[in-house]
Structure 1
Amino acid sequence: MSETSYAVFFFPQALEALGDPVKPYLVDGPGGAHIVCAEVDTSGPLFGMTLTGKNERGLPSELEIMVPHAMIRLVMSVHSDHGIGFAVADRSQD
């Protein structure tokens, strides 16, 4: 079974307001710039995103980013090991 992750898309004005601090965490894709995170928390006054990765020494690391809910345009739940988007079908064997 694959792990679930979330792609969080922001309004363009939100990305502009967040500026440089958020840029290292953005992934550019077919749907636009987004943050891929392991967990989201929509229950509080801020929208929370937990990112997992490795620090500069290669040890597991977590980062939590919290932004106002109004900055969020779309959240997509990803249930596979593949990136977001659609692959071009290989029709050579049809």
Structure 2
Amino acid sequence: MNRVENVHGSGTVNMVQAGRIDSVTFGASGPSRTVSAITARKQALEAYQELGDRHGKARTWHNLAFALRETGQPDQAREAAEQARQAYLQAHDPDSAAAVED
């Protein structure tokens, strides 16, 4: 199984764990949960990058864009959305790339 060092330096992260990091706060509400979601998704991005999981990385950029919009960070949300589009295209998923909203 592909593994990378946990960004906190405590052990390793595999693809399943990276997915859990990305989705751990999905659907949560409230400002503090959204900030937690941003932090978790940034950690998942690093893990997916190290694992070479292009689709996981794209999905996480997409989720990060949503969380950034929710916290009133429209410029950063647009940048994350563009990263999601590019990552989906690199993952050979033009349909998902087209579905990313700014």
TM-score by length of 1: 0.23
Where is the strand percentage greater, Structure 1 or Structure 2?
1
TM-score by length of 2: 0.22
Greater CA radius of gyration, 1 or 2?
A: 1
Where is the helix percentage greater, Structure 1 or Structure 2?
2
The structure showing larger relative contact order (alpha-carbon pairs under 8 Å, at least 6 residues apart) is 1
